Amino acid sequence: MSEATLKERILGKSGTAVTEIGMGLWAAGGGQWGTTDDSEIFDAIDFALDSGVTFYDTADVYGGGHSEELLGTAMQGRRDKFIVATKIGWQGFDGEAGQSAYTSVDKLIAGVESNLRRLQTDYIDVIQSHINFREPTMEIFLEGFQKLQREGKVRAYGVSTSDFEYLQAFNADGGCATLQIDYSILHRMPESDILPYCQANNIGVIVRGALAMGILTGKFSLDSQFEEGDFRRGWAEDPAQRVFYVDDLAKVEELRPLADGRTMAQLALQFTLAHPAVTTVIPGAKNVRQMRDNIQAGLLPPLSPTEMAQIDGIVPPGGGRKIWPA
């Protein structure tokens, strides 16, 4: 690996410096991403840590809590090396009634205590609301997060959403430290309003979806098959989803010549890091090979103005579409 080191940026009002490349642990828990190997996940976390990665993002629902458990085990004896962000909100959600399980501050706090137990830690660096329902859920989350922050169990709090109005409401008192958002070359809509708002309000931006659920790695084709349980199977089998998938793959082919010495994944990660509002990007990794590729994106020279202009010609600023509905 290059002798260069990963750069750091300050994560909004948290005041914490985090590496530009973090590790997303959604796929690590298995579940919606198909099968995973715990030993390979541990190896990937070890490799990330040894390479200087400081920021790790997970959630209570990733693999039914297994993702948090894996990270908790990996942190034993070296908790101070990890800056941990996790999320809460979807666990126990009643879809038919549109009802959150967290109907009181006490229930919300009990839920975060469960996050802490799975992570085997006594504090969380960043807790995030994973659900964007308005009154009374938002007020419950804010009050609970602020109480936990006063108690030292949470060091900063934020929200995971692509809903601009919800973000503004969540930050009404100016206390929201972070936003986690889906942003990529194929989904540039946040550039229009959300990212400028975060810059103006000192909200650290954690980018998920930078690889567009794997599309921007360049490894998929119209013939790609996804295993049972992988939510991306719909791209091949659902006619409505396939229309968009075909269009996305065509854009990837237009982008491919721009990689030029990078992998397609590295091109995609460097694109998100080029936006001044972005603090860190958290691509997923199931093994050391994927983690190494992600980290290298933070060590390569940044994209040039010419390369950015070429990307603009393929997907205009503020354009594209959401790959993931949340």
Q: Residue 64: how many CB atoms within 10 A of its CB?
A: 13
For helices 288-297 and 38-50, angle between their N-to-C axes, nearest 10 degrees: 30
Residue spans of beta strands (DSSP E) within the chain: 8-10, 17-19, 23-24, 55-57, 83-88, 126-129, 157-160, 178-182, 204-208, 278-281
What distances in angstroms separate CA 176 from CA 88, 127, 240, 247, one per listed residue? Answer: 15, 11, 36, 36
Distance between CA atoms of 251 and 321, rounded to whole angstroms?
Answer: 12
Distance between CA atoms of 142 and 124, rounded to whole angstroms?
Answer: 16
> Which one of 56, 62, 102, 157 is the catalytic residue?
62
For residue 223, give every residue at least 6 positions away whose Cβ sits within 8 Å of its Cβ, in sequence order, or none. none
Active site residue 123: no
Give the residue numbers annotated as catalytic, written as ranges. Answer: 62
